[in-house]
Amino acid sequence: MFHPLLPVEAIRAAEEGVIASDSFPDETMQKAATAVADTVQWLSTLPGVPGNDRAAGPDDNGAHGLSGLSQEKPSSPAVIIVAGSGGNGGDALYAGAVLVQRGWHAVAVCVGSSVHERARRAFEKSGGVVVGKNGEAEEADLSPEELVQYRARFSSCFLIDGVTGIGGHGPLRDEPATWIAAAADAEIPVVAVDIPSGIDADTGIAHTPHVVAAATVTFGAFRRAHAMNSDCGVVLQADCGLRDACRSECEKREADGELVASGVRAVTPPDIRQIALPDGMVTLAPDAAKVRGTDARGEAPGAASSAVWPAMALEPGAHDDKYTGGVVGVRAGSPEYPGAAVLCTTAAVRATSAMVRFAGKSRDAVVAAHPEIVAADDIASSGRVQAWVVGPGGGVERNYDDLHGLLSGSETSHACPILIDADGVTALCQPSKNKAGSDEEHADSDETFPLIHAVKNYDGAVILTPHQGEFRRVVKAVLAEPSVELSSEEREALTDVLNQDSDYPRIPAVSAVTRALHCVVLLKGRSTVVAAPADRSSGTLADASSQVKVCVVDAGCSWAATPGSGDVLSGLAGALVAESVGHAGPDTELPLSALMETVVRAAVIHASAADIAAETEDGYAPTSASVIAEAIPRARARLQM
């Protein structure tokens, strides 16, 4: 359903065989370069891109005022290539040659210890000019300080980042960093080749300084960083003869039991939603036509264009009622935080047509906001549900008792899925009460963190939805709980999380927690990481207990960064989980992988609802959690999911 995110090692393996079969030197590189040139030209057609917004002024005389460079008319576009010494530098220089042949003015700055000579010769033969220390003509000069003046003399201007690519590690070095910073000051958009330089391809971690790209062009398959770091901009993937090889490499690694993460982008920038992509390119975003199960001509898509999202029937069936659609129970809010209960239940009501039950002291506020909600004072007196949501604004102590009852089975007669958020996540991380010197009612002397132990051994499904701070608490508890088994690699990945002074690789950390506790984990953020253990019936060669499925959801916008937005997500996700359970039938136990896909859908719908909530007749503007909750039906209709 989602796009594979291949690690660098897999990409290298796929490229090796394809490049070895090139019919002439640099054939694959030149295909990649054409894709880069196509992307630059495509970006130059988009409204609102900073590089396109300048009209010629009355004083323009066609000269850019820089010695040694040809005099250009102000209507011509320009591109600056910053090329490193590796293959990405060659891609960038060949792309410059293509753009020159299409009527662009192009200059190149070679910042590596060497230069790809064939690509450089092709660039100069086309009419491109190499400036700076590597320029053959001393008078052909351009300095970073002159980029503002240089940009002002062209109808549009872009920079191609060909400094490092997927093999790079660490921050930009001084010379390329100076050029990139000058381009940012001059409002020159950057198109990155493969990966913005300074961003780690396998983790998405951005070092300082690094490139912030308007668009990134990649080849054959997406890399993890494309979904993990929004500084990649709009990510376009071209074939270049590599897709089949990448697909084969992906299948091989999955068959061998290796983790192959997947990814999707929830929201496409409004400027490009209605504009066709360059021929043969795809993005991380779902395709609206394919979501509905047809292509642009209204025909069923073939295998080569299978739907990213399977179309869903949003209308209840002819024989459905308020129960069969999946009843969700919400245990949220408190006298101190009644708003959390209202936001969480609003999202649940707006998400599906089925019943929503509420348990808690905020029942009056909840029913006043939504009289269709069936409310009770506590979980024990609530009716049967298909899934529980516990935590938002509920208070740590109250949630501790609630979760102990649910996880032990004393509060309900069946082990339904439990989504744990906010204060509920913090409650999980509370040590044994006897170890804290207080009430021993729920304590087990052999357990340091009883609720962590209970999650691990719960008969039903548990879904944790922490933000970064809460995730660090979970990690600290998991590392300290003696009943949790961790490999040395997992323990190292989790130890990295506790260092608050630096970023950490999120995919291995989330994978470690989900495998150790045998639960679904959704780590919130602009790039949300969702993981679940592979189904125990998995037929892979490796031990299924070591397998984890991971999907990264790049929201595509940051409008959800507002108080209460997490409460909305938990209510939405809980309702969708209940819907999935209800549709599966009373005797069907959904595997964690299926619930993971449901939670991924919730993250995508939540991001789309935030985008809708921020959209006004006059453009985008700040929004709030309550507006995001009300936008959920529109988001589900837009996405058909």
User: Running DSSP on this structure, what letter comes out for residue 218?
Assistant: E
**H or E element in which residue 157 lies:** strand 156-162
Is 192 in a helix, a strand, or coil? strand
Instruction: Tell me whether residue 524 is annotated as binding.
Output: yes
DSSP assignment of 77-130: EEEEEEE-SSHHHHHHHHHHHHHHHTT-EEEEEE-SSS--HHHHHHHHHHT-EE
**Cβ neighbours of residue 422 under 8 Å, at least 6 residues apart?**
340, 391, 392, 393, 394, 470, 566, 567, 570
Instruction: Tell me whether residue 453 is annotated as binding.
Output: no
Separation of alpha carbons 178 and 174, rounded Å: 6
* Residue 572 tokens, joined: 């939405």
DSSP assignment of 387-407: EEEE-TTS-HHHHHHHHHHHH
In sign, the C-alpha dihedral spanning 55, 59, 60, 66 is negative
* Residue 540 tokens, joined: 């892979």
Reply yes or no: is the peptide bond before residue 209 cis, omega within 30 of 0.
Answer: yes
Tokens 């054939």 sit at which residue?
27
Q: Which of 176, 168, 147 is nearest to 83 (CA)?
A: 176
- The answer to whether 420 touches 477, Cβ cutoff 8 Å, is no
Pairing state of beta strands 190-193 and 222-223? Answer: unpaired
Question: Which conformational region is residue 163 in: left (phi greater than 0), alpha (psi within -120 to 50 degrees), or beta?
Answer: alpha
Q: Which of 373, 325, 321 is nearest to 579 (CA)?
A: 325
> Beta partners for 231?
none
Separation of alpha carbons 396 and 471, rounded Å: 15
Is 465 in a helix, a strand, or coil? strand
Separation of alpha carbons 587 and 8, rounded Å: 43
Instruction: Tell me whether residue 549 is annotated as binding.
Output: no
In sign, the C-alpha dihedral spanning 341, 344, 347, 349 is negative
Is 551 in a helix, a strand, or coil? strand
Instruction: Tell me whether residue 567 is annotated as binding.
Output: yes
Separation of alpha carbons 107 and 141, rounded Å: 10
- The answer to whether 79 touches 99, Cβ cutoff 8 Å, is yes
Longest dimension (CA), the chain: 85
Instruction: Tell me whether residue 525 is annotated as binding.
Output: yes
Pairing state of beta strands 156-162 and 190-193? Answer: parallel
* Residue 576 tokens, joined: 């969708």
Residue 294 to residues 82, 290, 306, 314, 639: CA-CA distances in angstroms? 41, 5, 9, 17, 14
Instruction: Tell me whether residue 125 is annotated as binding.
Output: no
Work out the angle between the directed axes of helices 565-584 and 592-614 (0-180°, nearest 10).
Answer: 140
Instruction: Tell me whether residue 421 is annotated as binding.
Output: no
Residues constituting the chain: 641
Burial class (CB in 10 A: 0-12, 13-18, 19+), 7: buried
Instruction: Tell me whether residue 324 is annotated as binding.
Output: no
Q: Which residues are annotated as a binding site for (6S)-NADPHX?
A: 340, 393, 467, 567
Q: Which residues are annotated as a binding site?
A: 340, 393, 467, 524-528, 566-567
Q: Which residues are annotated as a binding site for AMP?
A: 524-528, 566
